[in-house]
Structure 1
Amino acid sequence: MKKIISTKNAPQAIGPYSQAIAANGFLFISGQLGVTPSGEFAGADVKSQAQRSLQNLRAILSEAGLSFENAVKTTIFLADIADFAAVNEIYAEFFNEPYPARSTVAVKTLPKGGLVEIELIAAIK
């Protein structure tokens, strides 16, 4: 059984998908761009966008009664792999050991011209 998780404290889906789905003991959160709940980019730089992306993830986790401590896997999508170190710096402000597993990939483009998008899978208590 799937349960939709949605909050007004993160941007609403811009297509036929959900902010998050709880299923089989896990929460699967769709990729979050660095945009505010109103849909505006948090800034023009990758650090601002990474911070907002992680704030969006935290809001969705919170709606499900979870936190970053429940994260087991993240995927970071970068428009430019040269931004890896800058995003890693912001990412480290949100996670503590034991860190979730993670993949980081560079992509040709992201929706709305974003610089970073982060998705997350969390274990439900």
Structure 2
Amino acid sequence: MRRRWTIGNCWLWCERTALPVLWLGPVLWEGGNAPLHACEGCIRHLERKVRGVLICGATPSPAPERRQPVPGDCWLWCQRIALPTLLLGTVESAGHQVPLYGCESCIRRLEDKVRAALPYVPA
């Protein structure tokens, strides 16, 4: 499947707006979903992270429960290492999947973006 670039906002590290982005997939959250877009630079950064994990010989393992923090590196904005992280999902590159982890503050930031993108549903 050929992906199409569109003009939009990057949801990953740079958070730039009104630039060419690719749709990477849906972000599923609390019964809703929002489109995840990223610019070329952030996609390349994500690919390097995935390749780095694969080169180190990582093999897919059963994912821990998302809400149980595990020691690890945040793959999102702060990129801090060796701190409590939560599993967000998996990232696929060249037919391999690796777990994607984020720290609590970066996950809150992503949640805010998802909520802002979801249509308002009155309670």
TM-score (norm 1): 0.26
Which protein is bigger by CA-based radius of gyration? 2
| TM-score, length-scaled by structure 2 | 0.27
Higher percent of residues as strand: 2
Which structure would you say has the larger RCO, counting Cα contacts within 8 Å and 6 or more residues apart?
1
